[in-house]
Amino acid sequence: MSPYPHLSDSLPQLATPDEVAPLLSMTALGVVRQCRAGKLPGIKVAGRWLVHVGRLAALLDAEPGAAGPRPRGATPG
C-alpha cells in the first residue's frame, strides 16, 4: 500500500503546481523548476505546467525521502 494515498485521492490526475506544492513542502515555483529539470513528472500545456499525480505518487513510493539518488557507496540510514 502506498504511503501517499492522499495524493491520488485528493487531486485529479493532473494538478497545477499550486495544488501539488503544499503536499511536497515546496513553493509552486519550486515545483515548476523541478518539472523543467525532469525531476517531477510534469508537462507543459498551453503555457501552464501540470503535474501527473499518479506518476508523482509512484515516484515518491520508489524514492524514500524523495531526496534524489544516494551517492555511490552510501548506506541507507
Q: Which three cell numbers stand for residue 24?
A: 511536497
- From CA 24, how far away is CA 27, in angstroms rounded? 8
Domain parsing of the chain, residue ranges: 5-64
- 28-36 helix and 17-24 helix, angle to the nearest 10 degrees: 100
- Looking at the domain 5-64, which fold is it? Arc Repressor Mutant, subunit A (1.10.10)
Residue 73: pLDDT over 60: no
pTM of the complete model = 0.66
pLDDT tens figures, 7-40: 656 556 899 999 999 989 999 999 999 999 999 9
